[in-house]
Amino acid sequence: MNPLGGLPRRATLIESFRRTDRNLIVIEFGDFFDGTNKLDELRVLTYLRALEAIGCDAVGVTSSSFAMGLAFLEQCMKDSFVPFVSSNATHTDTGARLGERFVIKETSKHRVGITSIADDRFSRETGVSKGHPHDAGFVSKSSAGSLARVQEKGIKIDEPFKALAENLSLMEKQCDILIVMSSLSQQENERIADRFPRINVIVGNNGKGGEKLAGGTLIVNNRSNKGKLLGRLTLAVSGKNAIAGHTVEWLSIDKKLPDNKEVRKILDGFYDAVAKDEKLWQDVEPKLASFDLEKDQSNQYVGAANCASCHEAVYRDWRKSKHARAYNTLLDRNRHFFPDCVSCHTTGAGLATGFQVGQATGHLEGVQCEICHGPASEHVATDGVFQLRKAVPEELCVKCHDSEVSPNFKDKFEALMRSVNHANSKGLSRTGTGELTRTE
C-alpha cells in the first residue's frame, strides 16, 4: 500500500488493460487509512478521487479502515463515488451496515458480486461475539489496538462466518461469480472456502502473496509492495461458473510508464495545495538557514547529478549511502510531501532554490552533497572552491541528527563523520599547475 507514491503509474496500467479488456475489475482493500495528521486526511481523500478516476469497482472495509476514525471513514464513503463494501461491519447502536453489502459488476458474460469481510477479533476478545474459531492469544498488539479503537467508535464487526452466510445467500441470487476480499488469516480463508464453496475467489490481505486452490475456490493473497506492483488475476470461467483456470501476475509499475493524465492532474492539485498551504509550513524551519553559505542568495542548489561529471567516485559512493536514499524512505511510507519530513530528508527544503513539494525539484531529493558542502551553483559554474564548505561542522549534522531522531549521535560522531567523508573516493583534482586531472 502506497496510495500516492504509486498511483499514477498503477492508473496507467489499469487504463491500458481497460482498452484491451472490458472485463477488467479493479478492487482495493480499504487499508489505506493511516496517519493522524490533517494532511493524512487530505492524502486519503485525494487517493479516493484518483480511485474514482480510474474506475475502481469496490473498496473493501478492513479493521484498519477505521484507523482514522469512524467519522472520517463515513465522510469518505459519502463523498466518494467508489462503493465501499462490507459483509460484517455494522453500527453498534443502530445495527446499520457500513457501506454496501456487495456490488455487482457486469462483465460481458457474467454478473460478478464483490464483497469484503473484516476481522472480528476485537469483538471476540471483549466478548461481544462468541464462537468464532480464533485462538485466543492470536491477536497481535497492533491489530488489537486498532480494533479496540474501532469499537470505541461504535462499530461492531460481526462474526465472519455468520455474516458471510447471510450475505452470500443474497449475492448468489443476483450474481454468478462471487468475489470476497478478506482480511482474515490464510487458515481462516481456507475454512471459509471449505464452508462456502460457492465463492469463486477470496482475495486475502496477508501481504505475502501466494495462491491456493481450495476445492473450487481460489484464494489469492496480495503482496505488500509499497505501491511498486500491481496484482493482476486472470480467470477462465467454465459454463458452470466454475474457475477453469487462472494466472496471477505481479506487474511492476515501471518509471517508464507514462502517467495517467487525469490522475496526474488530481495529484498535482494535491501537491500544489500542500506546497502553498502556509499553515502547514509555518512550524517547519529550514534546517540550515543560519549557515553563511545558505544565507547567500546568489548561491543556488543545483543537485548531485551536477557533481558527478567531475567528482565521479565521490558521487558513486554517495549514491550508495542512506543519505542518498532518504527521500525513498519517505516515499515508502507515503510521507514525501509532509513538510516536517522533507525538511530533513531532502536538500534545501524551505530555502529559495531548495527542494519544494510538488515542484520540479526531484533533483534535490534526499540528503545530497549540497547539504554538507553548501549550495554549489557558483562552484559548478566556475569550479572555484571558495564558495564551498569542505570540512563539515558537527553543529550542521545535528540540525537533522537531533537528540530525538539520533539519540547517540554525539557519542558516535567521529565514526559517523568518517563514514560520510569520502577520503577514499577518488575523482578529479587540480594539479599544481591548475589543470584538472583524473586521479582514479
**Under the rule (CB under 6 A), what is the footprint of ligand HEC?**
287, 302, 304, 306-307, 309-311, 314-315, 318, 322-323, 325-326, 329-330, 333, 335, 338, 340-341, 343-345, 367-373, 376, 379-380, 383, 385, 388, 390-392, 396-397, 399-402, 405-406, 416-417, 419-422, 428-430, 436
Instruction: Residue 205: name the closest of 65, 90, 97, 71 by CA.
Output: 65
| DSSP per-residue letters across 268-283 | HHHHHHHHH-HHHHTT
**Bridge partners of 97?**
90
Cβ 264 to ligand HEC, closest distance in Å? Answer: 24
All cell numbers assigned to 36? 493522524
Query: Would you give the end-to-end CA distance of the chain in angstroms?
Result: 43
Our CB check for ligand HEC shows the closer of 34 and 211 to be 34
CB atoms within 10 A of CB 299: 20
Instruction: Residue 366: name the closest of 429, 314, 419, 321 by CA.
Output: 321
Our CB check for ligand HEC shows the closer of 261 and 430 to be 430
Our CB check for ligand HEC shows the closer of 104 and 293 to be 293
Instruction: Residue 4: name the closest of 25, 38, 32, 28 by CA.
Output: 32
Cβ 72 to ligand HEC, closest distance in Å? Answer: 19
Our CB check for ligand HEC shows the closer of 289 and 385 to be 385
Our CB check for ligand HEC shows the closer of 187 and 419 to be 419
Rounded-to-10 torsion of CA 338, 344, 349, 354: -140
Our CB check for ligand HEC shows the closer of 143 and 328 to be 328
Our CB check for ligand HEC shows the closer of 149 and 287 to be 287
Cβ 225 to ligand HEC, closest distance in Å? Answer: 17
**Encoded amino acid at 137, one letter:** G
CB atoms within 10 A of CB 93: 9
All cell numbers assigned to 382? 566556475
Cβ 29 to ligand HEC, closest distance in Å? Answer: 22
Cβ 43 to ligand HEC, closest distance in Å? Answer: 13
Distance CA(419)–CA(185), nearest Å, equals 44
| DSSP per-residue letters across 175-214 | -SEEEEEE-S-HHHHHHHHHH-TT--EEEE--SB--EEEE
Cβ 356 to ligand HEC, closest distance in Å? Answer: 15
Our CB check for ligand HEC shows the closer of 249 and 402 to be 402
**Bridge partners of 84?**
59
The two beta strands, 217-221 and 177-182, are unpaired
Distance CA(235)–CA(37), nearest Å, equals 40
CB atoms within 10 A of CB 244: 11
Our CB check for ligand HEC shows the closer of 264 and 399 to be 399
Instruction: Residue 339: name the closest of 300, 395, 289, 287 by CA.
Output: 287
